[in-house]
Chain A
């Protein structure tokens, strides 16, 4: 048995360990191409990418939160709040588009600030804080909108997300830019390093000079900020601002994407590539469900099983590899 053989299997193991979701994605895509009619088509691939673009943004946000060992169950409801906020500002109140967007992003930051402060300063467990804040946000969204949607948004607003530049949709481009920024943040900057250390061992991180208190709060703010961006883009895409947009189902889907992508519930582990491919895996599955004409309800139930398998797999992997 030669040295090169040992090295090769070691490298494979390392690749799988660090990029499990890419591998799963490729296998899935392969299987789909073979067994699902109409899957293997450029049009279809573009559709999948388009559908993944927006959730990826939110998923990157929740990945950061998961890396601290926390959770944000208010994510889906924040999406709805930001959606109706931007819609009301742009159409009903009639503010200039740039201002509407800025204010909506501020709303996102505010939500994150409140969540983060309650978790870090008041030390209430994250799942309680965000469970409660989620409902509060949902209530606020409903009240602010009087329960109704805002339709027929101005074309100039829509243009932000729907234009085609160099053949690619602006929404996809924005998503790509955010991915690149997050990639830098998480894998090439001191922020990412500090975040990982904090997630693994908050005490040691603090005693090594990492400003863990500020970091924890900041992460929730970034998450909600990204969710606000996603909300704006999604509102543009469906041309309708809805207070009910997203909701608990969306939260769940985004968390699933992050966990399939390898983010650990216990903190410290999370990658941009992993989360992106985690979302892609979900969208591929959705795509296949559609092409195969399976009931969407089946898929919803199925999704939970997928996340369970992902968690179990993660667990086993972290202990064995």
Chain B
């Protein structure tokens, strides 16, 4: 019977800000009562949809953010980490998805940053570069340690990151999507490394969406869903359908009432658009009165597609037709004039001007329309803002309240109010209900339905399968920069099916 090294009980975490602290007064939980344990010398795979809480759980283990409830035990002793260095000092290594490297330094410098070997007051460069070279070769990678990280391919940068973490004495290593940019041969090498580590008694927590890899490398698999622990299964008993149903097996509630009808007129037509140099062309249509869902994993390219349409991002070839008119590469102000709007997934950075008031934010996209002679009519402005507040049930002390003091749900409503004020004909919504409590969510669904009833065309990006299934008239699934599937029949709107298309 293997020993348990790491154990987490009843871990709870509320939605948090950039400092890892729970947002004031929020009831939204990212993790609830999660249990997770890692045994010695095992490769423990962690799976779950977008937003299931995998990253958050790992961040707690890695000491990056604190838990709001529950306990963590290392070798039977309770621990709390005040920061990533403490976690590392306790033998927990974290190989992140986003690289933690200095691009302007070379490989060896990055690996040894903070722990350089010295000869007196000078660096012992010979030793460092030799050691680096040795470490790389030992793991099967032939990278010159003198190369600047900036000049390496993404895959090679990933390898440097891996080597760096492995150079610390770790007992548990978290690998977050380590194979995302690796080639087959590199993946094989990585797996060989993992086998070796396991032989030496080191445990790996492996997060990935690639099921074929999981069976090859894993010993146990744990499924998280909606921030809860669903269960753990030994790889020997792995069953694809069972795992999928554990990942999505939730009851679909009747939160979604559709009272709108899809019309024939095509509002948005995307033809042959490639979001990157090496991705296949995308075709997509949205009709008047239709809610089209866009599903897919994080990184599948949904936001990139949306931003390509909205003129915030360059794209490669193809046409974007709005009511028959080409609108590619237009400045957002022109698009908004024509009735095309994009509700960004990052409301704090791109959706709102947090330092300004609710009223100023709501009117921000409508300045030209409301005040054609540039003179601001404060009375009218207050009226309009108050109307929006009433219509969307925005909870605020006054319309002068600064947006950075509003709750997430209300912030999102302000953004929505801003866009609705422009009387749009095409809405591109990117994760419109992310991080919002249930009540606010259903209000937003109601508004979307209302708009569709008025003939507005809506393209909705969402990572929540119930939401996509409940709201959409048609669903596109994206995978690796391309459309993997289009689901038109309601019978096909099944969580398991959609998920399997995304993986």
Contacts and interface: CB of A to CB of B under 8 A. Distances in A.
Interface string B130-165: 000000000000000000000000000000000000
B355 interface: yes
A208 B336 CA distance: 8
A191 B373 CA distance: 11
Interface stretch (A26-34, A92-100, A195-203, A239-247): A195-203
B367 A204 contact: no
A184 B371 CA distance: 14
Nearest to A264: B355
B353 interface: yes
Classify the secondary structure of A's interface with B: helix
B374 A190 contact: yes
Contacts of A194: 367
B376 A193 contact: yes
A188 B349 contact: no
Contact of B374 (A189, A200, A206, A268): A189
A160 interface: no
Given A201-B353, A204-B349, A204-B350, A209 B376 contact: no
B350 A210 contact: no
Contact of A207 (B337, B342, B371): B342
B353 A205 contact: yes
A201 B349 contact: yes
Contact of A197 (B344, B356, B368): B356
B336 A209 contact: yes
Interface string B331-366: 111011100001010000111111110001001110
Contact of A209 (B332, B351, B371, B374): B332
Nearest to A269: B355
B312 interface: yes
A13 interface: no
B365 A209 contact: yes
Given A204-B350, A209-B336, A268-B355, A190 B368 contact: yes
Contacts of A188: 375-376
Contacts of B354: 200-201
Count class of interface residues, chain A = 20 to 34
Contacts of A203: 349-350
A194 B354 CA distance: 14
Contacts of B418: 208
A193 B349 contact: no
Interface string B449-484: 000000000000000000000000000000000000
A89 to B, nearest CB: 33
A197 B365 CA distance: 11
A317 interface: no
B214 to A, nearest CB: 38
B339 to A, nearest CB: 12
B332 A208 contact: yes
Contacts of B331: 211
A71 to B, nearest CB: 20
B371 A190 contact: yes
Nearest to B378: A188
B265 to A, nearest CB: 25
A193 B332 contact: no
Interface in A176-226: 184, 188-191, 193-194, 196-197, 200-201, 203-211
Nearest to A201: B353
A190 B367 CA distance: 6
A193 B353 contact: no
A206 B352 CA distance: 11
A217 to B, nearest CB: 14
A214 to B, nearest CB: 10
Interface string B52-65: 00000000000000
A69 to B, nearest CB: 12
A185 to B, nearest CB: 9
Contacts of A197: 353, 356, 360, 364
Contact of B344 (A196, A207, A209, A211): A207
Contact of B351 (A190, A193, A204, A206): A204
Interface of A: 184, 188-191, 193-194, 196-197, 200-201, 203-211, 268
12 contacts: A189-B376, A190-B374, A191-B374, A196-B360, A197-B353, A200-B356, A201-B353, A204-B350, A205-B364, A206-B312, A207-B312, A207-B350
Interface of B: 310, 312, 331-333, 335-337, 342, 344, 349-356, 360, 363-365, 367-368, 371, 374-376, 418, 422
Ranked nearest first, the 4 interchain pairs of A and B with the lowest CB-CB distance are A209-B336, A209-B333, A190-B367, A189-B374
